[in-house]
Amino acid sequence: MHCKLSSSETCFVPELVHSLNDLDPSMMDIPLLPDIEPAQQLELENESFRLIHFHTMINFITTFCFCQCNGRWRYDKEDTKYSLSTRLHFSCSRCLDRQAWDTSPQIKLRDQSHTVILTKERAHKEPKNQPLINVRATLASITLGGGASLLDRFFGFLHVPHLMTHRTFDKISRKIGSIIGIIAEESKEKSRHTEVSLSEEAGAAVNFVLSKKNIPLVHITGSYDACWSKRSHMHHGSASAGTGVIIGQKSHKVILHGEKVAKGVWKKVKDHYCSRNWHQSAKAMEADIAVQCFLEAPDHGMIISTLIGDEDSSVQKRLRDLEDVIGPIKKLSDFTHIKRNFGSQLYGLHASFKGIKMD
């Protein structure tokens, strides 16, 4: 989101106030700016870059292109305490009028999480304004699977002043995550309605034992698998978080999901937002998430009577133990896992039969 004054010229703030006179007046219906006195030395290096919201910059130029006394504007200082957003201060050399310009607009970002603990004071407190560039940068880092350290390295190479602390990053990411969670729940609800409708049209069985929401339960087929925060395959089980999802066979969309987080603070702390909900091994996460999803399914008007998944025996055992509650489950094997297991067994023959050549 670099600000570009033309198709080939990138604008950076240390020379911004000196390059305003170079703008073509035909681009904006404003007169040329008066000469600007040389600015004092910046605290930061002059060759560093800034991220500038273009529309905000144009509004500032068109509003304050002239001082009312027709004096000269001069650049005073830069305030960099707003992480990626900076505040530039200008003053008039004649009347000493002062103006400030934020390089990024600001928005209010409220934590929508249902698990956050709010005191009476915090419950009625308006959220503070956040620079939009900080929110977008945090969301980009989350999307790329990184954190505050990723932003530190990235903007360090770009030579962009970046003063976002890990605490600020965590606050913004938690608020973003709560909003994403609401959107995800709405998306899953739509997918469940689609899956139930398509299953009924295909002639799926309907159990007229009413659910908690007083609606009949439609038998559907779901595909289940889980993943961990630490990539591993049948070797390590030390991941601190795991996620499992069930995808409807008809809609090909996520209809149920669950997550387990084992990482937390191992000492007594004050009331805080905590996502920890798991105290067992990482390998047991997959089976427990599967049970959680199967138990939640009747609340949404469906019964998962057929499961497509891998050959994980722990998941199958936990589900068989719950057949009295969720009913009998037909197990189908996923083609990708069958092919992988078959290939592994073929290669395993070489260990038992040395005469087999591996080409």
Residue 95 CA to residue 67 CA, distance in Å, equals 9
CA distance 202 to 331: 20
Per-residue buried b or exposed e for 172-184, using 16+ beta carbons within 10 Å of the residue's own CB: bbbbbbbeeeeee
Give all domains of the chain, ordered by start, each with its CATH number: 13-104 (no CATH), 204-346 (3.30.420)
Give the 3-state secondary structure of residue 76.
Answer: strand
Nearest in space to 273 (alpha carbons), one of 148, 139, 177: 177
Mean pLDDT within 217-235: 79
- pLDDT tens digits, one per residue of 75-107: 888 777 788 888 888 888 888 888 888 889 888
232 pLDDT higher than 80: no
Which tokens belong to 220? 């559907």
Calculate ∠ Cα 146-148-153, nearest 5°: 85
- Residue 138: the pLDDT is 92
SS3 16: helix
Q: What is the pTM of this model?
A: 0.66
Are 56 and 100 within 8 A, CB to CB?
Answer: no
Greater pLDDT, 181 or 67: 181
The amino acid at 146: G
Mean pLDDT of the chain: 77
Predicted pLDDT of residue 190:
95
Residue 358 has pLDDT above 90, yes or no: no
Report residue 158's pLDDT band, with 50, 70 and 90 as the boundaries: confident
pLDDT digits 0-9 by tens, 7-37: 333 333 333 334 434 444 443 343 444 444 4
CA dihedral 33, 37, 38, 42 (to 10 degrees): -90
pLDDT tens-place string over residues 292-322: 999 999 888 899 999 998 877 888 889 988 8
